[in-house]
Amino acid sequence: MVPLPRFKSDCDERFVVHQEYKLDEVAIRNMAFHAAYFASLAEAHRNLAEQFDGRFPDPEYLRHYALVECGYYTESNFVMDTAKDAIALASIIRKRSKYAVIRVSGNVVKVFDAKSQAVPAMEKEEFDASAKAVLDLVSSMARTTPAELKKNAGKSA
């Protein structure tokens, strides 16, 4: 195989001549779906039920929260000496990580960081599944359906 000219310098850095490499097919993310997903999130954020007033300052906060709620996260646990220490640690973590979901129970602090949905960080299949789960959740929070979110997001785009 010969790399396209625009990829030659990248290949020269990453690969050794006459070395064998396994090729694997990589599914390319549908960028139209990607854009519609973020537009739908913004639409959901604009239409959240009253019980969520002020809870999510912008769609990015909502997305991170929904990813965690849908199981797309990494978790860190911290056991402190006292409940007061746990609250202090949670405050420090909040200042450093504005999107983390932080839960304090007694002297234990649990920090949930949403998985990145960036193209290099999440393959197509996982992105599609996570986007569907997130849209299902946020549409229910906005008292609508994912299809309605997408339709209305298209109108406001």
What pTM did the predictor assign?
Answer: 0.80
Q: How much of the chain exceeds pLDDT 90, in percent?
A: 71
Q: What is the mean pLDDT of the chain?
A: 92
Q: How confident is the model at residue 26 (pLDDT cuts 50, 70, 90)?
A: low
Name the least confident of 1-5, 38-42, 100-104.
Answer: 1-5
Structure tokens at 99: 């999107």
* Per-residue pLDDT tens over the stretch 44-64: 999 999 999 999 999 999 999
Q: How confident is the model at residue 20 (pLDDT cuts 50, 70, 90)?
A: confident
Are the CB atoms for 47 and 56 separated by under 8 Å? no
DSSP structure string for 10-39: HHHHH--TT--------PPP-HHHHHHHHH
Q: How confident is the model at residue 68 (pLDDT cuts 50, 70, 90)?
A: very high
* Per-residue pLDDT tens over the stretch 102-125: 999 999 999 999 999 998 899 999
Report the C-alpha dihedral over residues 78, 79, 85, 86, rounded to 10 degrees.
60
Higher pLDDT, 23 or 91: 91
* pLDDT at position 7: 85
* pLDDT at position 17: 84
- Domain map (residue ranges) of the chain: 31-68+122-157, 73-114
Are the CB atoms for 44 and 138 separated by under 8 Å? yes
Are the CB atoms for 125 and 111 separated by under 8 Å? no
Q: How confident is the model at residue 24 (pLDDT cuts 50, 70, 90)?
A: confident
